[in-house]
Amino acid sequence: MKIVVLDGYTLNPGDLSWNGLENLGEVTVYDRTAPEDVVSRIGDAPIILTNKVIIDRNVMQDCPDLKYVGVLATGYNVVDIEAAHKLGIIVTNIPAYSTASVAQMVFAHILNITNDIATYAHETKGGKWTACPDFCYWNAPIIELAGKTMGIVGLGNIGMAVARIALSFGMKVFAATSKPQSILPEGITASSIDDVLAYSDVISLHCPLTEGTKHLINKESICKMKRSAILINTGRGPLINEQDLADALANGDIAAFGGDVLSVEPARANNPLLNAPHCYITPHIAWATTEARTRLMNTAVENVRQFIAGETVVNAI
């Protein structure tokens, strides 16, 4: 059975193996696929895997042999699910594979900002510590997390993992969540979004991107935050109005931002956050630890195996 991977490079740039998939059929792996090549590369393959290549109704209709679309990610907005259902095409995703890795990145950003790690490492290499008359050198406040308030917007798998880490640091945790207080772990307080914005020293975004959450962080919501607040986004780029945030950072209306996602990726050269002060952006790599990618690969293979075997596909959407 033919299996086509349309954009496999980000999952496996060479350090993992496609052997598990190759044991299930005749596999063709493309590192990347341009929109104009999607239909021809799928051809008569009944099974395809995609990460960011869009599979819309037209692609499905132009590929009548297509029976299965495996999304190599948790989010599946790249596939027209309604059209797939009408055409009898199974669509799967990979849930919860990156929870620990993304939560780790949240605190990598927080600790970089509060301890100014990158700056001090750079200045030490530049001789600032060597030239210092004292045994230690610092030129800006260093912030302790214990006793501070962590505000979490969205308390799914990743939000909950972030909350647990925050508690281990001795932080108070407020969460804007639909979950009732009665089922939340000890130490997590269900709160309104306004209270999260107003009282939190660190705010981390983990809600889904919907019409209601698009540009959740904007000029008005930033005005509700402490001027000393740190904002973290490892969720979805469009949760933030990037121009409003860049202006706020420039004006000192918010202390710092750490982000792993932007509204358009890869980042455009004119994105206002790229040159904003106190702004630290990583290139959408929170999910990309070797361990998380290995879990993703293993789950993707198992999804395909279940489909081929005629079993109930657990991760079908």
Burial class of residue 110, CB neighbours in 10 A (0-12, 13-18, 19+): buried
**Residue of 206, 236, 293, 295 marked active site:** 236
Give dist(CA 290, CA 106) in Å, integer. 17
**Residue of 22, 144, 220, 265 marked active site:** 265
Whether 26 is catalytic is: no
List Cα–Cα distances, 292 to 36, 37, 48, 101, 317, in angstroms: 31, 29, 21, 7, 21
Helices 157-168 & 99-115 angle (0-180, nearest 10): 40
**Residue of 41, 215, 284, 305 marked active site:** 284
First to last CA, the chain: 22
* Per-residue tokens: 246: 């860049």
What is the SS3 string spanning 181-249? HHHCCCCEEEECHHHHHHHCCEEEECCCCCCCCCCCECHHHHHCCCCCCEEEECCCHHHECHHHHHHHH
CA angle, residues 265, 267, 271, in degrees to nearest 5:
125
Whether 215 is catalytic is: no
Write out the catalytic residue numbers.
Answer: 236, 265, 284
